[in-house]
Structure 1
């Protein structure tokens, strides 16, 4: 299998939790969760000491505390995480301008034609990880391959503080042995469905035709057909389009008073308006999101012929959506607002919206040929 691209996926190890352990020496070596410890709290990041007990990101804090009785909760500091992220991206850009941030803690890099350093993607990844450690005191894992899907999968193989290379000649054999749950883009529900069908790894998935996969999994079937054959021609895009700007909040207690719901929506409207104003990027579609006490999620939207450019407009539309669908959401545990159909492209790294977690993604290096 031939490919001229050399792509690296860098993923920081337990990023938020690692920053907290770096800045607070008393937390080092201890199970740490960044997020709220309240009844409705959510874990934003867990240290590897906490992960040994089964604590994971997006897990309710109550569950995390039950799994790990000695778990230490730390409030998030997004301004600090953002500053460290920018420092790390600065390192990336010394090697290539083709950097595609996915979030504060991970990015794709195309180093086919690097600005400096060796021509080997493997050696560049090692150098980047070493420089991150020296300049930030943090560790990163890396996946190196000839397409984005394989690089993303590879970065998880030797975590934390590790590296995995999948050269073209090894790709198909690697994918055939890869467990279904390790395929990036195949979630728990789909993986379980595949297991019930007798598909446990890439080899089993590969036996199904594209028509059969589409019949069983819809449009996603085409994607599964391609990735198990290492077919992914997506370029690293340094100018990813931000499709929406949104904010949401989970509350300590369920809300059923319409006046209180409106008060919360007014606050959320202010949050998203602030970011639209800051980026001068407004949208035409407003979406209201509500999560019920039984965790059912409802989303309702309105689209307009022009952009919503005033806070009063956004708030009024949010109120209208609530009133029109009030019967569907008599009592809520979460409310959210988002604006989409944005008027211009927004780089993926541009906006980190307020996430209220209190109330609510050089070690032992494998020897690889220098040519890849």
Structure 2
């Protein structure tokens, strides 16, 4: 049976590169894209900044310490999603089997596309040339027999690389490859594999005793062994064939640690409106509301949820439920982050009777607010109690982003 041919495309420093192309004054300079101007983390750093040790996830002050000349740029989600959609449209010209892994990554199954467009390498070079010509951006591409290896290959030459792992060289490539090169094997798991199994490389992982891996790591143990052997049977799943989204959620890091209940309730109301508006936009309603908070020590988290008798998507209903959950939490220090999610979803819920006795007038007002805010943006029309609350913070695109459906607007504020 002929091996599949999978391409993994990874845009290089995507957010930062888009900003540099949009503003010529930023080109060639160390920049960091952040979600907000205060108390946030770096989402992407340009390669000029990375040369100084600036990394994704650093606080702004850490980035500035590593690179005093670092230029901070506030992110523009519309710019990134628009560019990503156009890039995905290019990929669709070569195959309908395109899986959007994140806003700056995608898999393509080009097994059957080669009859039309030539070898996978030819397709990859064409895509790289078109993206560079149309957007001024570079990408790294990996080509391999499956998704696991294609993603590993794209990481081997950055930026602007093209790496091919043919089927007959899989064992050779994996033999000395650190296990951290495998997607999903983070630093914590690397340490555990070394400590419990004396495993450092993919080759060693593939030869490791399967029973030992299962004993140490549970159900993922057998999958780890398969990964070490380069085995991955997962198909490339186009957006329209993905599973239905399971939840709609927003969270925000607060400008400062807050212990004042009135101020926290304002944030809960903002989040409830953001969650509700997005659920209504996509005709979704949920029965389970969850509230999560991160405390001022940064490490402590408290979460509470409840399931309701009816499906809801009106902001007021979500808010009232969230307040009840928040008041039931035991919190002994100021709050750094707060989030709300709506799950146990059902589609076809453009409107529904309010759980708390709402009237059609309330539903009509909600629909009018949604229409205005969707057209004008943000919280143009909002609740009176939020007039002095300000915007809820810059929105950073989640890895759950997809070019269609509710995932398209799944944001996390930081």
Structure 1 residues 191, 338: CA separation in 2 closer, same or farther (over 3 Å shift)? same
- Equivalent positions of 1:1-372 (< 5 A) are 4-35=3-34, 38=37, 40-114=39-113, 117-197=116-196, 198-238=198-238, 239-241=241-243, 242-295=245-298, 296-325=300-329, 327-328=330-331, 330-343=333-346, 348-350=402-404, 351-356=408-413, 360=414
Q: Secondary structure at the match of 1:343?
A: strand
Q: Is the 8 A contact 1:38 1:62 kept in 2?
A: no
What's the offset of the Cα at 1:347? Answer: 8.7
What's the offset of the Cα at 1:49? Answer: 0.8
Please give the root-mean-square deviation of Cα atoms over the aligned residues, in Å: 2.1
CA distance in 2, matches of 1:314, 1:37: 26
Q: TM-score, normalised by structure 2?
A: 0.81
Q: Secondary structure at the match of 2:171?
A: helix
Q: After the TM superposition, which of the residue ranges 137-146 and 302-311 deviates more from structure 2?
A: 302-311
Q: After the TM superposition, which of the residue ranges 303-312 and 20-29 deviates more from structure 2?
A: 303-312
Q: Secondary structure at the match of 1:253?
A: strand
CA distance in 1, matches of 2:211, 2:297: 37
What's the offset of the Cα at 1:304? Answer: 3.5
For structure 1, the residue ranges without an aligned partner over 5 or more in a row are: 361-372
What's the offset of the Cα at 1:340? Answer: 2.5
Q: Secondary structure at the match of 1:304?
A: strand
CA distance in 1, matches of 2:226, 2:347: 31
Deviation by residue 1:144-190 (Cα, 9 ceiling, x = unmatched): 11111111111111011111111111112212211122121011111
CA distance in 1, matches of 2:258, 2:27: 39
CA distance in 1, matches of 2:45, 2:35: 12
Q: Is the 8 A contact 1:103 1:349 kept in 2?
A: no
Greater RCO, 1 or 2 (C-alpha within 8 Å, sep 6+): 1
CA distance in 2, matches of 1:142, 1:265: 42
Deviation by residue 1:264-294 (Cα, 9 ceiling, x = unmatched): 0110111111211112123332221211112
Q: Is the 8 A contact 2:20 2:26 kept in 1?
A: yes
Q: TM-score, normalised by structure 1?
A: 0.90
Tell which structure's C-alpha radius of gyration is larger: 2
Q: Secondary structure at the match of 1:307?
A: strand
Count of residues paired in the alignment: 355
What's the offset of the Cα at 1:246? Answer: 1.5
Structure 1 residues 136, 207: CA separation in 2 closer, same or farther (over 3 Å shift)? same
What's the offset of the Cα at 1:308? Answer: 2.0
Deviation by residue 1:239-278 (Cα, 9 ceiling, x = unmatched): 3233322211111210111221111011011111121111
Structure 1 residues 333, 120: CA separation in 2 closer, same or farther (over 3 Å shift)? same
Q: Secondary structure at the match of 1:269?
A: helix
Structure 1 residues 81, 97: CA separation in 2 closer, same or farther (over 3 Å shift)? same
Q: Secondary structure at the match of 1:144?
A: strand
For structure 2, the residue ranges without an aligned partner over 5 or more in a row are: 349-399
Structure 1 residues 237, 304: CA separation in 2 closer, same or farther (over 3 Å shift)? farther
Structure 1 residues 347, 331: CA separation in 2 closer, same or farther (over 3 Å shift)? closer
Q: Is the 8 A contact 1:254 1:293 kept in 2?
A: yes
What's the offset of the Cα at 1:306? Answer: 4.1
Q: Secondary structure at the match of 1:66?
A: helix
CA distance in 2, matches of 1:255, 1:38: 18
